[in-house]
Structure 1
Amino acid sequence: MKYADEFRDPKAAKALLAKIGAVVDQIGATAEKPVHIMEICGGHTHAIFRYGLDKLTPAGIEFIHGPGCPVCVLPMARVDECVQIAERPEVIFTTFGDAMRVPGTRKSLMQAKADGADIRMVYSPLDALELARRNPDREVVFFGLGFETTTPSTAFSIQQAAREGLTNFSVFCNHITVPPPIKALLDDPHMVLDGFVGPGHVSMVIGVHPYDFIPRDYGKPIIVAGFEPLDLLQSVLMVLEQIRDGRAEVENQYARVVPEHGNPASIAAIADVYEPRPSFEWRGLGEIEESGLRIRPAYAAYDAEEKFGIGYAAGPRVVEEIEGCECGAVMTGRMKPVHCPQFGKGCTPEMPLGALMVSSEGACAAYYQYGGARAVEPAE
């Protein structure tokens, strides 16, 4: 397949792996004292395991799986609030499929649907907008979830609803941003991070300069990376070369897709529709200042929090994790999925306890699907 096979060439991969091995030797990294590289994006985590890059790279490299899955970092309280909205008889609740099976304290959206709530999976907020047009007697709520990648499409939908004067469409806004949690991790004295593989899809929207603080303030390299195996191998090599050379810079390996300054139309739509929240709760990281987005007062008619008096509009609500579930520790790179006592036993894709096992970008799902479950004995 043109433009894909070129980035999966085994000969090119072997050449990159040889270069990586040479730089690892130059740095003096070993299995006992590895270089810790965090891939921020959950899509990168799945690619690493899908292509076996964790096994092909030298023992002197330790991949740390970061909080780059928006479904996974969503606290259980927000899932509960989704269910609470969806169970209102006048509501058609719409969501991306990834969020359907994420457990709340009472039930998931999938279970709420089975119990009679009108919950529909959509591919785009524009699908939800069309439902609002076709059902003028119902309140259609879209679950706005995701990083900067999906934020513009929600913003465009709200702008379109405002132009049309639709009064029965709103968004339960849970959009979040990538740079603040990276800063929170770097400020954590218990985290050991030597460099980052930066998110490709997010960077298509925001560009590369929002990461400038990482080398400037913390002296760590970050490489914005694509999602094919050669993309990731080259990005790891670029991180290692910066460490070897004593440099710390933002570099763009994914330049064929990511423009330096991002997408101007998307950035303008985000600025028009949203403003930063004072703080937002992240699973495993707690409240992080200005890490979430909320709908501006000018578009308050399309804000489900204001319309239904729920979410942060009703005040923050902290919900404790399920006992034995270590989603927070896995999400922040403190623990590998296989070290969670519930992994592959009390928590499986069929019966998940946490979001990391059901999201298409979750670290636990990657380990389970691509063989990482071997470190845990199966449940009896």
Structure 2
Amino acid sequence: MFPLSHMLKAFVRTGTLKVIDADGKEHVFAGTSEPKVTMRLTDRSLYHKLFLNPELHAGEAYMDGRMSFENGSTIRDFLTLFSLNRSSLATYPLQSVLKRISRGVKRFQQANPVGQAEKNVAHHYDLGNDFYKLFLDKGMQYSCAYFIHDDDTLEEAQQNKLRLLASKLQLKPGLKILDIGSGWGDLALYLAAMEDVDVTGVTLSKEQHALSNEKARRAGLADRVRFELLDYRKVENRFDRIVSVGMFEHVGVHHYGEFFAKINALLKDDGLMVLHSIGKMSPPGTASPWLRKYIFPGAYSPALSEVFPVVEQNSLWVTDLEFLRLHYAKTLNHWHRRFEANRDKIAAMYDERFCRMFEFYLISAETMFTSGSQLVFHMQLARKRDAAPIVRDYVTDLQRHYRLQEAERLKILRQEVPEPSTV
């Protein structure tokens, strides 16, 4: 198993990894005793592939069944062990060289010009609405929820998130709002249900676009809420409020200047923008090669040091910044449990390899929020320093206000969204 065994000796510092090779021989790599993982490799070519690019080939080997787990171990156990030891992998000589090379081609990895961005979005978000209904919440929100209480259901936590965002937008009658990357429309519909505002959502997903407009029509809100199949860079009107949830991760570092310049151009002088995005507490890096290839081509979760300079260059005030550190881990755990509860249905839609791919994605993403460097940030932006109140109490006060209104005002929405899983 050389040279893989040499790398694993340096890699495993926390936990114990037992590897059963293609000839049935056992190799034990131990740092501490826990967690314990037993992995079987049935393909000899993995010895070199995993040595050269473990993040890419581990995912592929699991998808294809060439990597499996025994003695009670699961893919979750392995990915937890991997995440706990990620820093030691980064310092391994070959891996550090590969990381430097990857950073050198970062511009090409994250290229999202008009046209290519649509293809990248379609790769993931156009898998089919029926598929996403099987593991998302009732409103089909595919972004980090907000757990006020540990025992919040996924539906409750996602509504908490909508309420939090609405409070930071400071809704007022007559406002014109732009939702960049509007998903399946739940945020735009929530805003319009809570206040007499006009909302335009833009998305590059044909599946999301069709269902969002249908939901607006059925809720009787189509006169104030519309969704367009349009790249945000082609939007021309100006808005009182702009919100973007889970879209910034698909912009790409070298397009940040273009993004924030467009925000400045679209935002009215006294307007506010709220940006909800995955970020990280570590220095700039690159996205996982497996994630880029199979899940989110062109995507990247930035370090804040990559965001703030571009905001400053585009003359925008950061009027508020909040971090949601563990909320996405909880969200992903809910999604994975619902996914597993519907695995037979999903396998019938696609196949077992697809199920393994998505399982690997959901669990590995969760570990990045429990033992890795990822977090979610809310950045409120404005063209004027006093566009938002100078005392932050309004965020809490408005959440309480909206909570009191929800029972009555959201009835029309709850009747029109797909039923969630029973898990």
Say which structure is richer in helix.
2
Q: Which structure would you say has the larger Rg?
A: 2
TM-score scaled by length of structure 1:
0.38
TM-score scaled by length of structure 2:
0.35
